[in-house]
Amino acid sequence: MGIGVWSVDIIGYTIIEGNQSPYDYRQTHPEVTVLDPPDAIQHLRNRQSMLQAVADMDLSASYGKVGVPRQLVIKRDASSIPDAVAKSGLTLPLVAKPLVADGSAKSHELSLAYDRYSLQKLEPPLVLQEFVNHGGVLFKVYIVGETIKVVRRFSLPDVSKRELSRSAGVYRFPRVSCAAASADDADLDPGVAELPPRPLLERLAKELRRRLGLRLFNLDIIREHGNRDRFYVIDINYFPGKC
Ligand SMILES: Nc1ncnc2c1ncn2[C@@H]1O[C@H](COP(=O)(O)OP(=O)(O)OP(=O)(O)O)[C@@H](O)[C@H]1O
Ligand SMILES: [Mg+2]
Protein backbone atom coordinates (compact mmCIF):
# COMPACT_ATOMS: atom_id res chain seq x y z
CA MET A 1 0.00 0.00 0.00
CA GLY A 2 1.51 3.32 -1.02
CA ILE A 3 1.84 6.34 1.20
CA GLY A 4 -0.50 8.17 -1.18
CA VAL A 5 -3.44 6.03 -0.16
CA TRP A 6 -2.94 6.84 3.49
CA SER A 7 -2.55 10.58 2.98
CA VAL A 8 -5.69 10.81 0.90
CA ASP A 9 -7.52 8.69 3.44
CA ILE A 10 -6.52 11.02 6.25
CA ILE A 11 -7.86 13.97 4.28
CA GLY A 12 -11.17 12.16 3.88
CA TYR A 13 -11.20 11.53 7.61
CA THR A 14 -10.55 15.20 8.38
CA ILE A 15 -13.57 16.20 6.31
CA ILE A 16 -15.84 13.98 8.31
CA GLU A 17 -14.43 14.76 11.73
CA GLY A 18 -14.06 18.47 11.27
CA ASN A 19 -17.69 19.46 10.79
CA GLN A 20 -16.59 21.19 7.62
CA SER A 21 -18.75 20.81 4.54
CA PRO A 22 -17.09 18.28 2.20
CA TYR A 23 -18.31 20.34 -0.72
CA ASP A 24 -16.57 23.47 0.55
CA TYR A 25 -13.42 21.47 1.09
CA ARG A 26 -13.47 20.18 -2.49
CA GLN A 27 -14.00 23.71 -3.82
CA THR A 28 -11.16 25.21 -1.83
CA HIS A 29 -8.73 22.31 -2.37
CA PRO A 30 -8.98 21.31 -6.03
CA GLU A 31 -5.48 19.82 -5.80
CA VAL A 32 -6.73 17.06 -3.48
CA THR A 33 -7.69 13.73 -5.00
CA VAL A 34 -10.85 12.51 -3.34
CA LEU A 35 -10.86 8.73 -3.39
CA ASP A 36 -14.26 8.20 -1.84
CA PRO A 37 -17.27 10.45 -2.52
CA PRO A 38 -18.23 12.63 0.47
CA ASP A 39 -21.90 11.64 0.16
CA ALA A 40 -21.01 7.98 0.55
CA ILE A 41 -18.85 8.74 3.58
CA GLN A 42 -21.71 10.71 5.15
CA HIS A 43 -23.90 7.63 4.83
CA LEU A 44 -21.81 5.99 7.57
CA ARG A 45 -22.53 8.74 10.09
CA ASN A 46 -26.00 7.40 10.72
CA ARG A 47 -26.16 4.05 12.49
CA GLN A 48 -29.39 3.13 10.75
CA SER A 49 -28.19 3.80 7.22
CA MET A 50 -24.68 2.41 7.85
CA LEU A 51 -25.97 -1.15 8.33
CA GLN A 52 -28.70 -1.02 5.68
CA ALA A 53 -26.39 -2.31 2.94
CA VAL A 54 -25.58 -5.41 5.03
CA ALA A 55 -29.26 -6.01 5.80
CA ASP A 56 -30.20 -5.66 2.10
CA MET A 57 -27.46 -8.03 1.06
CA ASP A 58 -28.66 -10.86 3.30
CA LEU A 59 -25.43 -12.74 2.64
CA SER A 60 -25.83 -16.46 3.08
CA ALA A 61 -23.40 -19.00 1.70
CA SER A 62 -22.16 -22.48 2.50
CA TYR A 63 -19.39 -21.00 4.68
CA GLY A 64 -21.60 -18.72 6.74
CA LYS A 65 -24.37 -16.19 7.04
CA VAL A 66 -23.97 -12.46 7.73
CA GLY A 67 -26.67 -10.14 8.98
CA VAL A 68 -27.20 -7.24 11.34
CA PRO A 69 -28.69 -7.48 14.84
CA ARG A 70 -32.40 -6.69 14.96
CA GLN A 71 -32.78 -3.03 15.75
CA LEU A 72 -35.22 -0.23 16.28
CA VAL A 73 -34.77 3.48 15.70
CA ILE A 74 -36.21 5.89 18.26
CA LYS A 75 -36.24 9.39 16.78
CA ARG A 76 -37.84 11.26 19.69
CA ASP A 77 -39.88 10.89 22.87
CA ALA A 78 -38.03 8.65 25.30
CA SER A 79 -41.27 7.88 27.16
CA SER A 80 -42.50 5.91 24.12
CA ILE A 81 -39.54 3.49 24.26
CA PRO A 82 -40.95 0.73 26.53
CA ASP A 83 -44.04 0.33 24.32
CA ALA A 84 -42.06 0.57 21.12
CA VAL A 85 -39.67 -2.13 22.34
CA ALA A 86 -42.54 -4.40 23.40
CA LYS A 87 -44.27 -3.97 20.01
CA SER A 88 -41.08 -4.61 18.06
CA GLY A 89 -40.50 -7.93 19.80
CA LEU A 90 -36.80 -7.13 20.34
CA THR A 91 -35.16 -9.38 22.92
CA LEU A 92 -33.34 -7.94 25.93
CA PRO A 93 -30.65 -6.97 26.70
CA LEU A 94 -30.41 -4.10 24.21
CA VAL A 95 -27.49 -1.92 23.24
CA ALA A 96 -28.53 1.72 22.91
CA LYS A 97 -26.41 3.78 20.51
CA PRO A 98 -26.78 7.43 19.54
CA LEU A 99 -28.26 7.50 16.02
CA VAL A 100 -25.51 9.76 14.73
CA ALA A 101 -21.93 8.48 14.95
CA ASP A 102 -19.82 11.50 14.08
CA GLY A 103 -16.59 10.72 15.93
CA SER A 104 -17.46 12.90 18.95
CA ALA A 105 -17.05 11.26 22.36
CA LYS A 106 -20.78 11.62 23.09
CA SER A 107 -21.87 9.90 19.90
CA HIS A 108 -19.85 6.83 20.93
CA GLU A 109 -21.23 6.58 24.49
CA LEU A 110 -23.22 3.38 24.43
CA SER A 111 -25.51 1.81 27.01
CA LEU A 112 -26.55 -1.72 27.77
CA ALA A 113 -30.16 -2.01 28.95
CA TYR A 114 -31.40 -4.99 30.92
CA ASP A 115 -35.01 -3.84 31.03
CA ARG A 116 -37.07 -1.76 28.64
CA TYR A 117 -38.34 0.80 31.19
CA SER A 118 -34.85 2.05 32.02
CA LEU A 119 -34.39 3.05 28.40
CA GLN A 120 -36.61 6.06 29.12
CA LYS A 121 -33.62 7.63 30.85
CA LEU A 122 -31.75 7.85 27.57
CA GLU A 123 -31.88 10.67 25.07
CA PRO A 124 -33.18 9.96 21.54
CA PRO A 125 -32.38 9.90 18.69
CA LEU A 126 -31.15 6.38 19.34
CA VAL A 127 -30.72 2.99 17.76
CA LEU A 128 -31.71 0.11 20.03
CA GLN A 129 -29.99 -3.08 18.98
CA GLU A 130 -30.29 -6.61 20.29
CA PHE A 131 -27.18 -7.60 22.20
CA VAL A 132 -25.68 -10.69 20.56
CA ASN A 133 -23.52 -12.90 22.80
CA HIS A 134 -20.23 -13.39 20.98
CA GLY A 135 -17.76 -14.72 23.55
CA GLY A 136 -16.22 -11.33 24.28
CA VAL A 137 -14.21 -11.12 21.06
CA LEU A 138 -14.93 -9.15 17.91
CA PHE A 139 -13.24 -9.00 14.54
CA LYS A 140 -12.20 -5.71 13.04
CA VAL A 141 -12.07 -5.98 9.28
CA TYR A 142 -10.13 -3.27 7.44
CA ILE A 143 -10.88 -2.88 3.76
CA VAL A 144 -8.51 -0.94 1.52
CA GLY A 145 -9.66 -1.43 -2.03
CA GLU A 146 -9.16 -5.13 -2.76
CA THR A 147 -7.08 -5.71 0.37
CA ILE A 148 -8.64 -7.08 3.57
CA LYS A 149 -6.97 -7.22 6.98
CA VAL A 150 -8.66 -8.81 10.02
CA VAL A 151 -7.69 -8.43 13.69
CA ARG A 152 -9.26 -9.74 16.91
CA ARG A 153 -10.19 -7.37 19.71
CA PHE A 154 -11.63 -7.95 23.16
CA SER A 155 -15.25 -6.86 23.35
CA LEU A 156 -18.16 -6.87 25.79
CA PRO A 157 -18.61 -10.18 27.65
CA ASP A 158 -21.65 -12.39 27.14
CA VAL A 159 -24.79 -11.75 29.17
CA SER A 160 -26.22 -15.00 30.56
CA LYS A 161 -29.96 -15.66 30.96
CA ARG A 162 -29.35 -15.81 34.71
CA GLU A 163 -27.62 -12.43 34.77
CA LEU A 164 -30.39 -10.95 32.64
CA SER A 165 -33.12 -12.22 34.95
CA ARG A 166 -31.35 -10.77 38.00
CA SER A 167 -30.44 -7.39 36.54
CA ALA A 168 -32.22 -4.17 35.71
CA GLY A 169 -31.24 -0.70 34.62
CA VAL A 170 -29.01 0.79 31.96
CA TYR A 171 -25.25 0.68 32.16
CA ARG A 172 -23.33 3.25 30.21
CA PHE A 173 -20.01 2.31 28.75
CA PRO A 174 -17.46 4.59 27.11
CA ARG A 175 -15.98 3.99 23.67
CA VAL A 176 -15.24 0.31 24.11
CA SER A 177 -13.10 -0.20 21.05
CA CYS A 178 -10.63 2.49 22.15
CA ALA A 179 -9.98 0.70 25.40
CA ALA A 180 -10.10 -2.80 23.95
CA ALA A 181 -6.82 -4.63 23.79
CA SER A 182 -5.81 -6.75 20.85
CA ALA A 183 -6.93 -10.33 21.36
CA ASP A 184 -4.69 -11.69 18.62
CA ASP A 185 -2.20 -13.31 20.99
CA ALA A 186 -4.61 -14.18 23.79
CA ASP A 187 -5.30 -17.73 24.88
CA LEU A 188 -8.89 -17.95 23.67
CA ASP A 189 -11.47 -20.66 23.20
CA PRO A 190 -10.81 -21.75 19.57
CA GLY A 191 -14.53 -21.55 18.80
CA VAL A 192 -14.48 -17.87 19.73
CA ALA A 193 -11.08 -17.01 18.28
CA GLU A 194 -11.48 -18.59 14.85
CA LEU A 195 -11.47 -15.82 12.24
CA PRO A 196 -14.50 -15.54 9.95
CA PRO A 197 -13.93 -17.59 6.76
CA ARG A 198 -11.87 -15.68 4.19
CA PRO A 199 -14.29 -16.30 1.28
CA LEU A 200 -17.12 -14.88 3.39
CA LEU A 201 -15.16 -11.72 4.19
CA GLU A 202 -14.11 -11.34 0.57
CA ARG A 203 -17.69 -11.54 -0.62
CA LEU A 204 -18.88 -9.19 2.10
CA ALA A 205 -16.16 -6.66 1.34
CA LYS A 206 -16.76 -6.79 -2.40
CA GLU A 207 -20.50 -6.30 -2.03
CA LEU A 208 -20.07 -3.50 0.50
CA ARG A 209 -17.55 -1.67 -1.69
CA ARG A 210 -20.14 -1.70 -4.44
CA ARG A 211 -23.20 -0.91 -2.32
CA LEU A 212 -21.56 1.77 -0.17
CA GLY A 213 -19.51 3.19 -3.04
CA LEU A 214 -16.44 3.28 -0.76
CA ARG A 215 -12.96 1.80 -0.93
CA LEU A 216 -11.54 2.63 2.50
CA PHE A 217 -13.57 1.52 5.48
CA ASN A 218 -13.62 -0.91 8.35
CA LEU A 219 -16.32 -3.00 9.91
CA ASP A 220 -16.84 -4.68 13.26
CA ILE A 221 -18.19 -8.20 12.95
CA ILE A 222 -19.07 -10.69 15.69
CA ARG A 223 -19.80 -14.42 15.67
CA GLU A 224 -22.83 -15.53 17.65
CA HIS A 225 -21.45 -17.57 20.56
CA GLY A 226 -21.97 -21.27 19.92
CA ASN A 227 -23.01 -20.75 16.30
CA ARG A 228 -19.89 -21.10 14.19
CA ASP A 229 -21.37 -19.87 10.92
CA ARG A 230 -23.53 -16.98 12.12
CA PHE A 231 -22.07 -13.48 11.92
CA TYR A 232 -23.39 -10.00 12.61
CA VAL A 233 -21.97 -6.70 11.42
CA ILE A 234 -22.47 -4.20 14.25
CA ASP A 235 -20.57 -1.15 13.05
CA ILE A 236 -19.04 0.31 9.89
CA ASN A 237 -16.62 3.24 10.02
CA TYR A 238 -14.87 5.29 7.45
CA PHE A 239 -11.25 4.37 7.53
CA PRO A 240 -9.12 4.78 9.61
CA GLY A 241 -10.81 4.62 13.00
CA LYS A 242 -9.32 6.58 15.84
CA CYS A 243 -8.84 3.39 17.81
N1 LIG B 1 -25.41 -5.68 18.96
C2 LIG B 1 -24.34 -5.87 19.72
N3 LIG B 1 -24.17 -7.05 20.36
C4 LIG B 1 -23.09 -7.26 21.16
N5 LIG B 1 -22.14 -6.34 21.42
C6 LIG B 1 -22.26 -5.15 20.82
C7 LIG B 1 -23.36 -4.84 19.94
N8 LIG B 1 -23.23 -3.60 19.50
C9 LIG B 1 -22.10 -3.12 20.07
N10 LIG B 1 -21.52 -4.04 20.84
C11 LIG B 1 -20.30 -3.85 21.65
O12 LIG B 1 -20.11 -2.46 21.84
C13 LIG B 1 -18.92 -2.01 21.21
C14 LIG B 1 -19.14 -0.67 20.53
O15 LIG B 1 -20.18 -0.78 19.58
P16 LIG B 1 -20.09 0.00 18.18
O17 LIG B 1 -18.86 -0.44 17.45
O18 LIG B 1 -21.38 -0.15 17.48
O19 LIG B 1 -19.97 1.48 18.69
P20 LIG B 1 -19.06 2.69 18.25
O21 LIG B 1 -19.23 3.79 19.21
O22 LIG B 1 -19.39 3.05 16.83
O23 LIG B 1 -17.65 2.09 18.35
P24 LIG B 1 -16.30 2.42 17.63
O25 LIG B 1 -15.45 2.88 18.76
O26 LIG B 1 -15.90 1.09 17.09
O27 LIG B 1 -16.54 3.44 16.57
C28 LIG B 1 -18.55 -3.12 20.24
O29 LIG B 1 -17.16 -3.12 20.03
C30 LIG B 1 -19.04 -4.35 20.97
O31 LIG B 1 -18.13 -4.70 22.00
MG1 LIG C 1 -17.14 -0.22 16.58
DSSP labels for 175-187?
A: -HHHHPPB-TTS-
The pLDDT value recorded for residue 243 is 61
The neighbour count for residue 173, using CB atoms within 10 Å, is: 13
The pLDDT value recorded for residue 47 is 97
Residue range 14-71, pLDDT digits in tens = 443 455 666 777 788 888 877 888 889 999 999 999 999 999 999 998 999 999 999 9
Interface predicted TM-score (ipTM) over 0.95: yes
Please report the atom of ligand 1 found closest to the CA of residue 153.
29
> 103 falls in which pLDDT band (50, 70, 90)?
confident
Q: Give the residue whose CA is nearest to atom 5 of ligand 1.
A: 131
The pLDDT value recorded for residue 209 is 96
Q: How far is the CA of 28 from the centre of ligand 2 (A)?
A: 32
Pocket residue to mutate for ligand 1, from 172, 177, 182, 225, most atoms within 8 A of Cβ: 177
Q: How far is the CA of 219 from the centre of ligand 1 (A)?
A: 10
> Which has more confidence, 122 or 185?
122
Residue 8 above 80 pLDDT? no
The pLDDT value recorded for residue 116 is 94
**CA–CA dist 198, 57 (Å, integer):** 18
**Closest ligand relative to 112 C-alpha:** 1
The pLDDT value recorded for residue 6 is 38
Pocket residue to mutate for ligand 1, from 129, 234, 242, most atoms within 8 A of Cβ: 234
> 134 falls in which pLDDT band (50, 70, 90)?
very high
Q: Which helix (H) or strand (E) holds 92?
A: none
111 neighbors 170 (Cβ within 8 angstroms): yes
DSSP letter at 110 equals E
> Peptide bond before 196: cis, by omega within 30 degrees of 0?
no
Domains (ranges, CATH) in the chain? 3-238 (3.30.470.20)
